[in-house]
Chains A and B, each alone.
Chain A
Amino acid sequence: MSRAETVSAAVRPRPLWTLGLFRDELRTTFRRWRTLALLGVLAAVPVLVGIAVRIETGDGSSGGGGGGPAFVSQITNNGLFLVFTALAATLPFFLPMAVGVIAGDAVAGEAGAGTLRYLLVAPSGRTRLLLTKYATVMVFCLAATLTVAVSALAVGALLFPLGDLTTISGTRITFGEGLVRALLIALVVAASLLGLAALGLFVSTLTNSGVAAMATTVGLLITVQILDQIPQLHALHPYLFSHYWLSFADLMREPVHWDDLTRNLGLQALYATVFGSAAWARFTTKDVTA
């Protein structure tokens, strides 16, 4: 790592220095086997879905009949729909679980391994370190989503025809516009995970055990997903971070239906601010002994 030389080069924190810290963080995170394994699992999901749909409809019948994840009935006619189906299939669990692991490990993992002290010796300041950690988790959210999307696009192009597509409102758009929408959807899905990322980071500052933080974050995710299914708690639902996750499909309407999309993004911003500042309050006052 190049931390030692940057410390000697800059005594006071500078923007460039923060960038260096961020780069180091990214490198450490994305070089871990754990991260690569998570991305590998995410990339495998569209492959499985694609092959399953291909086998199911191999005899010429059109698939689905309305069941299964969103958009699944359109995949046979247009491979691009595999991107939407794969994101709809991974968003409820696989994607947030991966984010929970990375976010939960961010601070607690360093504390558990005894490396947090050394990070704090550098004159970066805790706030800066925490922001860097959160930025790294955000990059992971985007990377994870894009992994699913790109893998789905590749599998979709290999197994199914591509071309102009019909939006769910019945209007037609060109393949190029479809690609733009797919990218937008990937960005919205990545942004949907930011609330959970902040929650995971907060949990991560509470404990010195990386495993405990990951388990708590993933446990909270499952709890919230279950609460979101109980109709008696409908008054609570709009405040659960996962409630509007599947609203990304509204981007496939013509014209786009923004109501739930903006609600989702607002809710994620709220969670990010509340738990981000709670993590800051905790981390900047914590006694770091390991």
Chain B
Amino acid sequence: MAPYESDDTTTAGEVEEPRAGRRKAARYVVPVTVMGVAAATIGLVPALADSGDPDLPDITAAQLIDKIAQSDVERLSGTVKITTDLGLPNLGGLESGLLSGATGGEDGEGGSSADPSGRLTELASGTHTLRVAADGPDRQKLSLLENAAEYSLIHNGKDVWGYDSASNEVYHATVDEAEAEERSAQQPPATPKDFAEEALKAVDDTTSVKVDGTAQVAGRDAYRLVVEPKQSGSTVGAVSIAVDSETGMPLKFTLTPSSGGSAVVDIGFTKVSFDRPDASTFEFTPPKGAKVTEDTEQDRGHGDFGGKPERGPKSEEDLAKGFDGLRMLGEGWNSIATFDTGAGAGLPTEEEVGGDLGGFLGSLGDQVKGDFGKGTVFSTRLVNALITEDGKVYVGTVTKDALVKAAEAGK
């Protein structure tokens, strides 16, 4: 062997074979140690970051709800992570195609890929990262982060811009000042605050509300407010809202189903700042060569800012206004919406349709029997729907059994 063959292996070591073998093995300790340390770090860092529940003065649930109501955060910027798992069958790309097709159809045309109505329905499933920025009621920005692309919705004074960087398409609408006020209230519920407000609307005597300790969210100290339905039979297990202790702004919203498992909706800031965002954030001029779709007054009204993800049970009453013959059964969290499709027959059976579609729809639901006859129950992890043979539909955030009971009582 050459005398200089290594810095640290001496020729003497080479002669003694067994020791050399041990030496060889010893060197592999280095990469193994590095891997071990890395694995431990990856495992430990979230645990360490999690451990520090902040010490905050005690507060009652009523005080905390008051704090949320009085919160008037006008300036903020941050990153929001949204995870929704409604337990819908995973149809992959087909699903979003159907969703955007459904909303696009409302306008009678395919529309631009920068149109907000189609884009925000994407939030209804999977995990998404959003960026939000706001500076007063006139300037807001919401960006949906995608792979190497981004969809931005910018409201700056009179202008509302939608920009889809993947296809380089622009959507533009104008609003007058009075309408702008109203529209800002109509913004899609994308931040934990929007969802928290919806959930707190549902608070009545059928609900238990309590403060359950504190938490750290996006580096800020927060109280944890837990809202639970008192009655059994609801698919909603609990709603947990983390409220910033300083500003009273909800930072995290989690809805867990009563069936257990992972959260149905989990929306939280991963980063938040209450400083005034850079003014250039809200400035937008369509890039050269971009296809701009102008939205005229009459086209709007319906469909814009559509695609609202799951809301609290009370919002079904809003929905009720839209349907003729829609009745609400029960109260609070267990309310069930029911209406008659008037078709006389419910879901087309396989024989009637004669094709694969009937079988496909049937296979998605469960057949149930009761005093009302036969029916099909379609379930997700949050919302269940029962369609009976005679064309009645029962929908609610309640369990399958509760739906069947309601249908039997309604008979």
Residues of A that sit less than 8 Å from B by CB? 13, 62, 64-66, 70-71, 73-74, 76-78, 88, 117, 120-128, 161, 163, 165-166, 168-172, 246, 249, 253-254, 257, 259, 270, 273-275, 277-278, 280-282, 284-285, 288
Contacts and interface: CB of A to CB of B under 8 A. Distances in A.
B143 interface: yes
17 contacts: A65-B167, A70-B147, A70-B148, A70-B149, A70-B166, A74-B168, A74-B287, A76-B289, A77-B289, A127-B7, A166-B285, A169-B131, A172-B283, A253-B145, A257-B131, A277-B34, A284-B9
A73 B166 contact: yes
Contacts of A70: 147-149, 166
Contacts of A74: 165, 168, 287
A277 B27 CA distance: 8
B149 A168 contact: yes
B360 interface: no
Contact of A170 (B6, B20, B165): B165
B176 to A, nearest CB: 23
Contacts of A125: 4, 6-8
Contacts of A65: 167
Contacts of B8: 125, 127, 284
A171 B284 contact: yes
Given A65-B167, A77-B288, A77-B289, A277 B30 contact: yes
B7 to A, nearest CB: 4
Given A275-B31, A281-B27, A284-B27, A170 B148 contact: no
A233 B399 CA distance: 32
Given A77-B288, A257-B145, A281 B31 contact: yes
Contacts of B69: none
Contacts of A288: 5
Pick the most buried of B129, B145, B150, B284: most chain A CB atoms within 10 A of its CB.
B150
B38 interface: yes
Pick the most buried of B7, B35, B143, B154: most chain A CB atoms within 10 A of its CB.
B7
B163 interface: yes
Contact of B148 (A76, A165, A166, A246): A246
Contacts of A123: 4
B289 A126 contact: no
A165 B79 CA distance: 24
Nearest to A66: B167
Nearest to A172: B285
Contacts of B281: 171, 254
Pick the most buried of A62, A78, A125, A170: most chain B CB atoms within 10 A of its CB.
A170
Given A76-B289, A274-B38, A64 B27 contact: no
Contacts of B285: 166, 172
Contacts of B289: 62, 76-77
Interface string B144-180: 0101111010100000010111111000000000000
Nearest to A285: B24
Contacts of A259: 270
Contact of B291 (A62, A122, A128, A278): A62
B255 to A, nearest CB: 23
B31 A126 contact: no
Contact of A62 (B5, B79, B270, B290): B290
Contact of A126 (B7, B145, B163, B168): B7
A253 B7 contact: no
A174 to B, nearest CB: 12
A35 B145 CA distance: 38
Contacts of A274: 31, 34-35, 38
B264 to A, nearest CB: 20
Interface in B1-39: 2, 4-9, 20, 23-24, 27-28, 30-31, 34-35, 38
A127 B149 contact: no
Contacts of A165: 287
10 tightest A-B contacts by CB?
Answer: A70-B148, A249-B148, A281-B27, A125-B7, A66-B167, A168-B165, A77-B289, A166-B287, A278-B31, A285-B24
Interface in B268-282: 270, 280-281
Given A126-B7, A171-B284, A281-B31, 7 more contacts: A70-B147, A70-B149, A77-B289, A120-B4, A171-B281, A270-B38, A281-B27
A257 B143 CA distance: 12
B6 A66 contact: no
A13 B164 CA distance: 58
B287 A77 contact: yes
A126 B113 contact: no
Contacts of B5: 120, 126, 288
B314 to A, nearest CB: 35
A128 B167 contact: no
Contact of A278 (B20, B28, B280): B28
Contact of A66 (B30, B166, B283): B166
A62 B35 CA distance: 49
A243 B27 CA distance: 29
Contact of B167 (A13, A73, A126): A73
Contacts of B24: 281, 285
Pick the most buried of B149, B161, B164, B289: most chain A CB atoms within 10 A of its CB.
B289
Given A73-B166, A121-B2, A169-B152, A280 B30 contact: yes
Interface in B301-325: none
B286 to A, nearest CB: 8
Contacts of B27: 280-282, 284-285
B4 A122 contact: yes
Contacts of A64: 167-168
Contacts of A277: 30-31, 34
A277 B35 CA distance: 10
Contact of A171 (B148, B280, B288): B280
A209 B27 CA distance: 23
